[in-house]
Amino acid sequence: MRFCRSATVLCLLLPWLPGRAAAQGDIATTYRAVADSLIRGATADSSAYRRLGRLVDTFGHRLSGSASLEAAIDWVLDAMKADGLENVRGEPVMVPHWVRGAESAELVKPRRARLAMLGLGGSVGTPKGGLTASVLVVGSLEELARRAAEAKGRIVLLDVPFTEYTATRHVRSDGPSAAARAGAVACLIRSVATLSIRNPHTGATLYDSSAARIPAAALSVEDAMLLHRLQDRGEPVVVTLRMEARTLPDAPSRNVVAELIGRERPDEVVVLGGHIDSWDVGQGAMDDGGGSVAAWEAVRLLKRLGLRPRRTVRVVLWTNEENGGRGADAYRNAHAAELDRHVLAMESDNGVFNPRGYVLAGSDSVAAVVRQVAMLMQPIGAARLQRVEGSPAADTEPLAAAGVPTMELDVDGSRYFWYHHSDGDMLDKLDPGELARCVAAMAVMAYVMADLPS
């Protein structure tokens, strides 16, 4: 949006004008050498992976409200200052403070067995000592609506297989209130996952204010299927659920912000970042320690190579993406007066797997420029540009709503939902070379977008 505000028509026409080849040639010619040096610099060693290892092995998970999140933020701020980044600061944000406590699910009938479960973020707990009830298994929210009369006083299990994240997440976020409206005493869901070794996956649930708040948890895919098979055979299925989950008063946290101040137009900004918080399982290495470190390392690489673009490059590690989005809102509010000078806001939050390019929400004129910048990533096969409406990433949503072009790193997502929001999300699932290529992709896009003359 920043690039062609006064010449929108020209930019929209650009693809059909003879001058297009020259314009493409300009970006390719001007920035080829610097892009290659950024790719070489990012992929020369495993420094990003080592830094991510320090972050996640030292501090572990980083759930909003936790001491580990704030200790991790302190460490990042100190390390950014030691890197020589500028205007390093934590911008205050009050975040929800949900705690899991002890929890378990046990099959009582037709036999006793432990079930692999994780409470859903935001859930209420069960009464002390737990609750025991017969289970109604349904395969969809539509089936629950049809069989609502059977749900009263029971635990509803939504055994809905993964299709696509947004559609399947809907079951996790809205299923518990749907079950409560049917009179259920608790709600279980099948984990939102594309592969399972009996590991449950958590994630946020959202209570509808019109429904009772009932305890909500995810079972592993295998346990959900087991209960479904038992019901299909006509066996009575009874489960005891125990959860100490509760929500405490909001807690203080911070968005991490650091800059490389622009040499000509310091008040114009390119934002790149990830979210520093995570769920309270595993290490949040993939979601989203990796994205946070990729953005941070990209800016550190610019600094290390002595590259100072015309505009300011600002790394933002948003807090509370997972269960509130308060960091994203706080950034938008704190920077409201300068949002019209935000050239681009880019997040990496799909795991730092092999990068394939970029996903952009922005005008045709911005896309025409970004497409040329993306072509600089051809040497590592990350030149693809996809376009979406709205915002491609969660933390950039408030910025997209304010008219800022927003972007997400496009990566090979084939393994993401194997580990997402589970105990499996640890450093070993990531590859140093893939992470390094993500650093390169973020560094090249951020640098060129911040340095273009107009």
Chain residues in the site for Zn ion (CB under 5 A) = 287-288, 349
> Is 321 a catalytic site residue?
yes
Rank residues 287 and 297 by Cβ distance to Zn ion and give the closer one. 287
Residue count of the chain: 454
CB of 287 to Zn ion, least distance (A): 4
Rank residues 73 and 343 by Cβ distance to Zn ion and give the closer one. 73
Angle at 417 between CA 346 and CA 398, to 5 degrees: 30
Rank residues 288 and 408 by Cβ distance to Zn ion and give the closer one. 288
CB of 288 to Zn ion, least distance (A): 4
Rank residues 137 and 276 by Cβ distance to Zn ion and give the closer one. 276
- The single residue of 321, 322, 397, 408 carrying the catalytic annotation is 321
CB of 322 to Zn ion, least distance (A): 6
CB of 437 to Zn ion, least distance (A): 19
Q: How far is it, in rounded angstroms, from Cα 369 to Cα 376? A: 12
**Burial class of residue 293, CB neighbours in 10 A (0-12, 13-18, 19+):** buried
Single-letter amino acid code for the residue at 60: G
CB of 282 to Zn ion, least distance (A): 12
Active site residues: 321
